[in-house]
């Protein structure tokens, strides 16, 4: 199951809010969660943002639950300009 490595609350939120993971997400999550550097090149609308952010949010959430969340920037996401203009 693609969401099995996520905290149950994160996985439940994704399934109820977003639905089924895309192929891009299924392929990217193990690499991202392993701590490897990852570059996702895929068409617009293929789930790249959630592929990156869900792993980051899950990691931060798990740190917070363990009372180990440091007060500094841990995630930096650079949005493609086309996606940014579509979202705004």
For residue 88, is pLDDT > 60?
no
Domain boundaries, position 31: 8-87
In a domain, 41, yes or no: yes
In contact, 57 and 6? CB cutoff 8 Å: no
pLDDT for 6-39, tens place per residue? 999 999 999 999 999 999 999 999 999 998 888 8
Categorize the per-residue pLDDT at 75 as very low, low, confident or very high, splitting at 50, 70 and 90.
confident
CB 29 within 8 A of CB 80: no
* pTM score, whole prediction: 0.78
pLDDT of residue 76: 81
Q: Say if 2 falls within a structural domain.
A: no
* Residue 2, token pair as written in the block: 């693609």
Tokens representing residue 68 in the block:
């180990």
Closest CA to 21 of 38, 4, 37, 35: 4
Residue 20 lies in a domain: yes
Cβ-proximal residues to 75 (8 Å cutoff; 6+ apart), any chain: 53, 56, 60
Query: Domain for residue 3, yes or no?
Result: no
pLDDT tens by residue, 46-59: 888 888 889 989 99
How many structural domains comprise the chain? 1
69 within domain boundaries: yes
The answer to the question of residue 23 being in a domain is: yes
């Amino acid at each position: 199951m693609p969401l099995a490595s996520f905290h149950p609350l994160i996985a439940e939120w994704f399934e109820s809010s977003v639905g089924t993971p895309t192929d891009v997400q299924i392929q990217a999550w193990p690499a991202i969660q392993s701590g490897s550097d990852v570059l996702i090149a895929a068409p617009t609308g293929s789930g790249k943002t959630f592929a990156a952010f869900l792993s980051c949010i899950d990691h931060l959430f798990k740190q917070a639950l363990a009372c180990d969340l440091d007060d500094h920037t841990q995630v930096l996401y650079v949005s493609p300009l086309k996606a940014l203009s579509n979202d705004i």
